[in-house]
Amino acid sequence: MEAEARLAELDAALVATREELERVSAERDAHKELLQRVAADFDNFRKRQVREREQQALAANERLVLDLLPVFDALELAVDAFDNHEADKVREGVAYVHRALLAALERAGATTIDPYGYPFDPAEHEALLAQPDPTVDEGVVLQVHQRGFRLGDRVIRPARVVIAAAPTEGE
């Protein structure tokens, strides 16, 4: 009888173990399915983000091109005036192109760095050379060869400048 009782006990433990195994397997399958859904959702999210970034870049490029088209048109008019030897119209056309291009850059968020007369700042300026000038303090920008530009707070092109150096002994 003891053997039968022990066998019944083992059968009950086996049934309980199988039930626990089925419960754990079902739980594992549910977690696996959830993980697969989350992975698919994340992949879809990533793809959507890539598409949105591409669309934003395209929209930004479209705005820039639309802003530059009047500049292109003005340049064509200036070239035509140049071909016809109309110097005043060429000058007027080039000046218009300059203003239109500067306006397009400003609409895109660019601002100019024009440091003439200000102290040299290596974060915003690139010194081409230093020349003695007794009329201003050392390190002051004497000439701007090329304006710099910022986009937001970031310098995207430093201004290329000539700065004042200390006068030499003979001066």
Residue 159 belongs to domain spanning: 110-166
143 is a domain residue: yes
First to last CA, the chain: 123
100 is a domain residue: no
d(CA 45, CA 48): 5
Q: Give the model's pLDDT for residue 34.
A: 95
* 100-124: pLDDT as tens digits: 889 888 888 899 999 999 999 999 9
Please state the domain count of the chain.
1
DSSP letters spanning 137-157: -TTBEEEEEE-EEEETTEEEE
Q: Give the model's pLDDT for residue 139.
A: 93
26 is a domain residue: no
Q: Give the model's pLDDT for residue 171.
A: 53
Q: How many CA atoms lie within 13 A of 170 on its CB side?
A: 0
Do 109 and 134 touch, CB atoms closer than 8 A?
no
78 is a domain residue: no
d(CA 1, CA 4): 5
- The segments of the chain whose pLDDT lies below 70 read 169-171
97 is a domain residue: no
Q: Give the model's pLDDT for residue 107.
A: 86
H-state helical runs in the chain: 2-83, 87-107
155 is a domain residue: yes
Q: Give the model's pLDDT for residue 51.
A: 94
Task: Specify the CATH number for the domain of residue 125.
Answer: 2.30.22.10
150 is a domain residue: yes
Nearest to 128 by CA among 169, 166, 150, 158: 158
> What phi and psi, each to the nearest 5 degrees, are found at residue 158?
-70, 155
137 is a domain residue: yes
* 129-148: pLDDT as tens digits: 999 988 889 999 999 999 99
d(CA 90, CA 14): 98
